[in-house]
Amino acid sequence: MDEDVYGRLRRFLDRLPSGFPETPDGVEIRLLKKMFSPEDAELVMKLTDRPETVSDISKRTGIDEGELPEKLEALAARGLIFRICREGRRLYQAYHFVIGLYEFQVNRLDRELCELFEAYLPYIGLSSARLTSQYRVIPVESSLPDNAQVAPYNRIREIVRKETVISLAPCICKKEQELLGHKCEKPREVCLMFGDFARFYIDNGYGRSIGADEALRVLDRAEESGLVLTCSNARKLETLCCCCTCCCPTLRNIRKLKSPARYMLSYYQAAIDRDACTGCGACADGCPMEAIAEDGDVRQVLEKRCIGCGLCANRCPVGAISLRALPDRREGPPPTREAVLDIIAEERGIGRAPAP
């Protein structure tokens, strides 16, 4: 019976936008058993991937309305569903694994869970490689041209200054690697959430509430430490991560490929002024994708490897590196996270519940 529950839960999660693919050795089932009880799984599968009130869930499923709040709050507290608050009402929804349930386990990690994540996450990456990305690279702001042509959604500090609800959490990737015996020396408390995500993190103790000034200091520290800034691929900012190639599974895996730029969404790419370059190599030392090579007495950018993070420009002592906007990315990201998920669902040929 339990095996059937977890098989059904696997298929249910796979019908959500980012998917939950089956594997040859069944590691995904072992992961679900670790995270969900059979009762958890049954209730989660009765939800949709759109936020609903307790009353609406009760009417749709026939579950007694009096029983639902405590059960749904327990699932939300363990990061097994997502909850948002709108106009004093709590709304609940089933949520996809990445970006979502995986990150919500930041306070529940033990070595067994980390080993299961480590074994399964590459399958998630492979299944989503050709889909619209849920996140994108944010360039180091000092590396951007100082002109009005830089789109507002790429001026991350201006956006952060306007946010009123912000949370700061430990990086789950760094916590995971430390439990697996690979401690990272770079800053660990570097995951920023905004709006609905921030409230969810604060309410459930995944992260702490901070102001915009502290969030900006986190970004400064991340850039100084050589971390790549990535954020939700929407004009409305909800998540902002500061990633390293030793812990982040995405960066770690695409770095092994010949063309990382194909698999990491960015709106910029580095360019080196050969006349100004002294060939010192400071840029290459700081590049997370090994995208800078020797070219005689100077350096050159390997375009297939460059993900446009701007860390090289931040380190160049003579200002020979700048970021250029990629011409095929002028349209910009979708307006919201939900719009991104709608696009991914359409690309996968799966339906979503109607938007409220």
CATH number at residue 75: 1.10.10
At residue 227, the 3 state secondary structure works out as coil
pLDDT of residue 127: 77
Q: What average pLDDT does the chain have?
A: 94
pLDDT in tens, 30-80: 999 999 999 999 999 999 999 999 999 999 999 999 999 999 999 999 999
Q: Is residue 145 part of a domain?
A: yes
Q: Is residue 345 part of a domain?
A: no
Q: Domain count of the chain?
A: 3
pLDDT in tens, 2-13: 679 999 999 999
The CATH number that applies at residue 309 is: 3.30.70.20
* Residues 151-157, mean pLDDT to the nearest whole number: 88
The last residue of a domain, from among 69, 93, 124: 124
Q: Is residue 247 part of a domain?
A: yes
Q: Is residue 59 part of a domain?
A: yes
Pull the structure tokens for residue 277: 């370059």
As a whole number of angstroms, the distance between CA 146 and CA 52 comes to 44
**8-state DSSP, 26:** -
- With a cut of 90, say whether residue 129 has pLDDT above it: no
pLDDT of residue 355: 66
Rounded to the nearest 10°, the torsion over CA 272, 274, 276, 282 is 50
**8-state DSSP, 88:** T
Q: Is residue 189 part of a domain?
A: yes
Spatial contact of 291 and 301, defined as CB atoms under 8 Å apart = yes
Cis amide bond preceding 321, omega within 30: no
Query: Quick one: 119 and 153 in the same domain?
Result: no
Pull the structure tokens for residue 30: 């072992």
pLDDT in tens, 242-276: 999 999 999 999 999 999 999 999 999 999 999 99
**8-state DSSP, 36:** -
Query: Quick one: 212 and 318 in the same domain?
Result: no
Percent of the chain with pLDDT over 90: 86
Q: Is residue 169 part of a domain?
A: yes
Helical H segments across the chain, by residue range: 2-14, 27-35, 38-44, 54-61, 68-77, 111-128, 156-162, 172-179, 195-203, 212-224, 249-254, 282-286, 311-315, 337-348
At residue 122, the 3 state secondary structure works out as helix
- With a cut of 90, say whether residue 108 has pLDDT above it: yes
Query: Quick one: 225 and 271 in the same domain?
Result: no
- With a cut of 90, say whether residue 328 has pLDDT above it: no
Predicted TM-score of the model (pTM) = 0.93
What is the sign, positive or negative, of the torsion defined by CA atoms of 243, 244, 247, 252?
A: positive
Domain coverage including residue 323: 258-329
Query: Quick one: 198 and 110 in the same domain?
Result: no
- With a cut of 80, say whether residue 162 has pLDDT above it: yes
Spatial contact of 143 and 323, defined as CB atoms under 8 Å apart = yes
In the chain the first and final C-alpha atoms are separated, in Å, by 34
The last residue of a domain, from among 106, 124, 142: 124
